């Protein structure tokens, strides 16, 4: 599989995973792009000990976690002026609310539910996050229950 094929197949999945972490379109795009730069650089060294998808998700997850750590270290402050975005990003309100809810989950739960939403097999999710398949099933069930409750409140 060529890099271009990998990129075309996984780009939107990795972008959505990153959105689940950061809930910011521009930052998620940057993180996804950085993920594929790493994939491109490391592809010749890929040992095929796992599927290419598992490997890419792991790279993206690690990149997102590093970004979150960096964001915690850097104190954010308001700019003394407003920056106006030229390109409006239109995401359906329910999808945006889902990203907001996911971004408020603990870090491990974010990756678990983001991968679940991408239809990644639970066995692969277990490998990516380093938990047992049984633990993954339980956590997915609990995360879905939390998100369902939040949507019930949202829809009122």
- What CATH number does the domain containing 94 carry? 1.20.140
Range of the domain at 67: 3-154
What pLDDT, on the 0 to 100 scale, is given for residue 39? 94
Mean pLDDT over 34-52 rounds to: 90
**Whole-model pTM above 0.85?**
no
* Mean pLDDT, rounded, for 33-62: 90
Q: What is the pLDDT of residue 19?
A: 87
**Into how many domains does the chain fold?**
1
For 122-155, letters b (16+ CB in 10 Å) and e give: bebbbbbbeeeeeebeebbeebeeebeebeeeee
pLDDT score at 81: 55
Distances (CA, A) of 136 to 58, 108, 111, 121, 153: 16, 10, 11, 10, 26
Over range 57-85, report the average pLDDT.
Answer: 71
- Is residue 135 predicted with pLDDT exceeding 90? yes
Average pLDDT over residues 127-134: 90
């Amino acid at each position: 599989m060529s890099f271009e094929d990998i990129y075309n197949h996984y780009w939107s999945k990795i972008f959505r995973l990153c959105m689940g972490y950061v809930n910011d379109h521009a930052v998620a795009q940057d993180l996804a792009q950085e993920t594929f730069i790493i994939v491109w650089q490391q592809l010749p060294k890929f040992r095929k000990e796992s599927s290419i998808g598992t490997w890419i998700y792991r790279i993206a997850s690690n990149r997102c976690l590093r970004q979150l750590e960096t964001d915690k270290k850097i104190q954010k402050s308001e700019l003394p002026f407003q920056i106006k975005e030229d390109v409006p990003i239109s995401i359906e309100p329910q999808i945006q609310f889902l990203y907001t809810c996911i971004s408020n989950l603990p870090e491990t739960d974010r990756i678990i539910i983001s991968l679940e939403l991408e239809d990644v097999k639970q066995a692969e999710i277990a490998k990516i996050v380093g938990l047992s398949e049984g633990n993954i099933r339980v956590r997915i069930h609990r995360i879905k229950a939390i998100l369902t409750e939040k949507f019930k409140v949202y829809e009122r």
